[in-house]
Amino acid sequence: MAGGKSAEFSPLTLMYPEAESRPPDRHQEGFMNIDRAVFIIAGSLIILSVVLGWYLSPYWFLLTLFVGANMFQAAFTGFCPAAIILRKLGLKFGPAFDNPTR
């Protein structure tokens, strides 16, 4: 091929062209960022509240509503209380919550 590029094709080169067909090391220092932590927290709270609402009391579904409403407004405003707390705990910004003024 022209330019010295290899003719070998791998789907990973489309996802990670800078890593030469290798996904990033998920165990490297600093891999966890605010975005991933927010998704983990929100997903865990939704699953927990659905299980508690199903088995204990339907009032737990209000927590699901709160988490969903917070995620909805954060998508438009960029304001996320969990992201602020996680930043103060020392996590690095990811692509979604990259504005330190919010």
Give the amino acid at 33.
N
Of 86 and 18, the one with more pLDDT: 86
pLDDT at 59: 97
Residue 25 CB neighbours (<10 A): 9
pLDDT digits (tens, 9 = 90+) for 40-84: 999 999 999 999 999 999 999 999 999 999 999 998 998 889 989
pTM for this entry? 0.64
CA distances 68 to 38, 45, 73, Å, are 12, 10, 9
